[in-house]
Structure 1
């Protein structure tokens, strides 16, 4: 995880925030946590957690919208607080509707909302002024993300599959990228990285959906490999779609 967040940061600086956000949307956190769920709690636990993770994906959409609308008016810490409140609020509401839809329904809903979110995501105008650069920011990102992954994995038995699933996509990598980008580049740079992440959410949801279908019947390695390949293909297709039509 430290390597991932460091790599995403470097990619954002080299190829732009949109590409960095798209790379960040890959299952860098959810994948390893699901792997640990499978190895430690069993396949049934991991599969049961997928529906919760889908709810968490929808919660991240709420996080992204709350952050960017706040970022256009407020500092990073205000935006981050409001975004986390949005994530928590959305996931609590969705938890009450957990039994009204099966996995297929949550997958379709996550895809529809992700695509709709891309269409209506606000376009922020570039700001004047030079970008800031923080010392040791990559190392800070590495520490934060490592602590989070370890904590969620440790709490899995206590939380149960649904809440463990909801917290698996908890916007820690999204928050790190958004807050650091907001502080150093302003709302415009933040909008690019969040929009890049939204572009990859359909592929991310597909990865999760495939794990629920493949893990009971195939090896962990094969299930994850197929899911990751499909995720990458969908990300590339979505990026081409966004560049052409949005």
Structure 2
């Protein structure tokens, strides 16, 4: 059973990280940034919490996962700030700064007496804050794509596999509160950021970062749904329901954004004709 779980975690990590990196290269870093907020790493972690411990344990962890998203959002913000100002060893120092910031914020968060209202309102407030702080970042696309080979794909997969395996081992050593906070670690986003930054430039990874808070709302919705449905329906049906609610948010966001952009184009066209 242990070996099977290891292989499942490894396979899922490979699919998500490679998929997001290819999406960034062939569609745009903007889309990859939004979808990186989709419940991938946290969904895997919470699912295995439920499978290896219990659905109730995973449900309680999901509440702390929501509050832990504050640290995940701060992770990308700290990485962004550090990458702007560090010239030498840019990727290494940006990564270390973001990881350190994440664990400091997680430590501060564990001191708070959490309830469902705080678990929802705090990450939403931070997501809105970072959307505002990232407003000046330009969305750019990748013009010249890197040539892929087995070595590159292996390196891309390795980071996600290692991080996910470490984080999903947390509940064996700590309680659900800490486990939930750690489950919010950007397990697929962080490797994606490293791949884009190393392969292309900090401007490209900044495009990913700019759009993370937008997608993070789907993860907040996912974790909230898990906290409700896992004890009621179990981890399998509960996971499907939770993915459904998270996907619905992204569809509504996409449709709303499209309508707003169309309206802007109509207004601009009217101004030109008058």
TM-score, structure 2 length as denominator?
A: 0.80
Pair 1:121 & 2:130 matched: no
Partner of 1:229: 244
Deviation at 1:126, TM superposition (A): 8.2
CA RMSD of aligned residues (A): 2.4
Indicate how the Cα distance of structure 1 residues 11 and 126 shifts in structure 2: closer, same or farther if over 3 A, else same.
Answer: closer
2: CA distance, partners of 1:63 / 1:151:
18
Does structure 2 retain, via aligned residues, the 8 Å contact 1:131–1:184?
Answer: no
Does structure 2 retain, via aligned residues, the 8 Å contact 1:199–1:239?
Answer: no
Does structure 2 retain, via aligned residues, the 8 Å contact 1:60–1:171?
Answer: yes
2: CA distance, partners of 1:183 / 1:205:
29
Does structure 1 retain, via aligned residues, the 8 Å contact 2:42–2:187?
Answer: no
Q: For residues 95-139 of structure 1, what are the alpha-carbon distances to aligned partners after superposition, in whole Å with 9 as ceiling and x for unaligned?
A: 111x1x302321122112112211221534689xx8684863331
2: CA distance, partners of 1:54 / 1:96:
15
Partner of 1:200: 215
1: CA distance, partners of 2:170 / 2:125:
31
Displaced runs of 4 or more, over 3 A: 124-127, 130-135, 236-245
Partner of 1:168: 183
Partner of 2:5: none
**Aligned equivalent of 1:2, options 7, 14, 21:** 14
Pair 1:61 & 2:76 matched: no
Deviation at 1:15, TM superposition (A): 0.6
**Aligned equivalent of 1:144, options 146, 159, 164:** 159
Unaligned runs of 5+ in 2: 1-12, 262-274
Partner of 2:63: 51
Does structure 1 retain, via aligned residues, the 8 Å contact 2:135–2:210?
Answer: no
Partner of 2:4: none
Deviation at 1:221, TM superposition (A): 2.6
1: CA distance, partners of 2:51 / 2:98:
32
Q: For residues 141-194 of structure 1, what are the alpha-carbon distances to aligned partners after superposition, in whole Å with 9 as ceiling and x for unaligned?
A: 212211222222233121221111111121232221222222233222111111
2: CA distance, partners of 1:122 / 1:154:
37
2: CA distance, partners of 1:205 / 1:72:
28
TM-score, structure 1 length as denominator?
A: 0.88
Larger-gyration structure (1/2): 2
Does structure 1 retain, via aligned residues, the 8 Å contact 2:17–2:156?
Answer: yes
Farther-moved stretch of structure 1 (138-147 vs 82-91): 138-147
Unaligned runs of 5+ in 1: none
Pair 1:106 & 2:108 matched: no
Pair 1:12 & 2:27 matched: no
Indicate how the Cα distance of structure 1 residues 122 and 72 shifts in structure 2: closer, same or farther if over 3 A, else same.
Answer: farther
